[in-house]
Chains A and B, each alone.
Chain A
Amino acid sequence: MPKKVIMKGNEAVALAMRQINPNVVAAYPITPQTEIVQIFSSFVSDELVDTEFVTVESEHSAMSASIGASAAGARAMTATSANGLAFMWEVIYIAASLRLPIVMAVVNRALSGPINIHCDHSDSMGARDSGWIQIYSENAQEAYDNMIQGIRIAEHEDLKLPVMVTMDGFIISHAMENLMVLEDDKVEDFIGEYKPQYPLLDIENPVTYGPLDLYDFYFEHKRQQAEAMRIAGRIIKNVADDYEKLSGRSYGLVEPYYLEDAKVALVVLGSTAGTAKACVDELRLEGKKVGLLKIRVFRPFPYDEIIEALKGLKVVAIMDRSDSFSSFGGPVFNEVRSAILSLERPPITLSYIYGLGGRDVNLKDILGLYHDLEEIVFSGEPGEVLRYLGVRES
């Protein structure tokens, strides 16, 4: 029987890692991810997992060791946050281009400086073009579920792509919530035994990883990588269908919430999607036609699903918990806006940057935002495209 538990997000992710029982975990602690590494290392010392735990001296080495282990044929996992992810920078691209199915938990935290330990998405959004699949979690339950699905997605024979599973630092990682967890053997059956395709340790069939690849073949390799990402959405959905049979919980690439008849909507990812759903519930009781679209999978970018979900709306606020400093909105805004421009009558789109460095975003903030959107429907005047929610400007 699945078990009801009370856990923090970090505990839930560490539990998922215990149940996955990877061959190798190489990780370096950083707030707010630290507990994942701490709890998992106690699973190792208590012999609850068979994992070779590599205590590296930095995140660059954590990812490098994960790459080495994965290329050797191991199921390898790691976890990081913020500057730790930034320090992995050059090697995360290598993990993706070598097609190594590493699964990494990213506990979202603002990048310095100034130094800040709290949540925003500047860390994982910075890695959006690295070739990793990115799955964002709304709460501890989703973080747990996404970690387990992440293994099946990463290791799919047509993909062989690394997967980042994110959750919001502190807001989810350090908050106790209810969740349902699966039995160990059910997780073991779901992820199956890992059968690496071209392991370095298969000395009967020697292979080379990461050789010099100039203008003769580099482009073809990149094209294949892009092709894997192109079909990844379908595979992520198939894995979600299988996971639903096991868990009863349903997942898509995006999650529409009261969009059918909505006039205005938010597009949001991470924990704020939950707060925004609570706002929609409240406004719907008043008869307001509001909705929201949660993006679960940001890489690959689910443009078909987004176009389908947002058609017919009048005004859409696209929320970014990071700034791109392009002076034209955040990364989620730019991609969502670009996707829906293909609609015959695209909705008015606004970019809202919010919650940087952990700035709290509450019911009142989002109710105010919906109110602003309704005013735009009424007046037909979109006003400023780029807006900042919940910041002191004077």
Chain B
Amino acid sequence: MPKVIEIRWHGRGGQGAKTAAELLAEAAGAADKYIQGFPEYGPERMGAPVVAFNRISDEPIKLHCHVTNPDVVLVLDSTLVGKIGVTDGLREDGILLINTNKSPQDMRNLLGSIGKVFTVDATGIALETIGRAIPNTPMLGAFIRVTSLLDLNFFIAHTKEELKKKFKGKGQIIEGNLEAIKRAYQEVEGE
């Protein structure tokens, strides 16, 4: 693995790409990693394509630029595939994780020979566990499975505390998100 793991999120406004990048940064930081988490700020609006970035490293991170050669790309909305260059700059041995109910082989057929492809039905999981089509937290569960960058139990415990701050008194939403993370961790499929 390279010294700095670079991650790019693709989603649509409202799906929580920025929040996911921040949750990941906070959790990895709590696990004593050096981190960055930042979105690309444009004229965001609900449904418009958005991008967010993470860097994770065991050493201080000096770079202050967008991620152009990611090790991992996460796609929160499979309708972006083919419309936005989700695999642009992805390293040859990189990981592409897509929220879709299709198989990795189906996505591979669409995308050609790019890295390692993983899929998970994060929207389906979110609807069943949280009751809303917000796929960001289950995508984090799948991310942890396919990268092994963080320990699942540590991540769940940390995210629980972070979600408590965001959703005061809404225990059901918090539990739903944690369940979504666990399920996506189990259900993510590779080739």
Contacts and interface: CB of A to CB of B under 8 A. Distances in A.
Contacts of A277: 62
A177 B65 contact: no
A6 B68 contact: no
B26 interface: yes
Given A118-B41, A170-B41, A6 B62 contact: no
Contact of A174 (B30, B38, B68): B38
A4 to B, nearest CB: 8
A117 interface: yes
A176 B62 contact: no
Which size bracket describes the interface of B in this complex?
A: 20 to 34
A32 B24 CA distance: 23
A392 interface: no
Contacts of A174: 38-39, 41
A168 interface: yes
B160 interface: no
A6 B36 CA distance: 9
A178 B65 CA distance: 16
Contacts of B25: 6, 176
Contact of A6 (B35, B63, B66): B35
B38 A176 contact: yes
A278 B62 contact: yes
Q: Which of A6, A139, A174, A274 has the most CB of B within 10 A?
A: A6
Nearest to B24: A176
A272 B62 CA distance: 9
B142 to A, nearest CB: 21
Interface string A108-136: 00000000011000000000000000000
Contacts of B45: none
Interface string A291-329: 000000000000000000000000000000000000000
Interface of B: 22, 25-26, 29-30, 34-39, 41, 60-66, 68
5 contacts: A6-B25, A6-B35, A177-B36, A274-B64, A278-B62
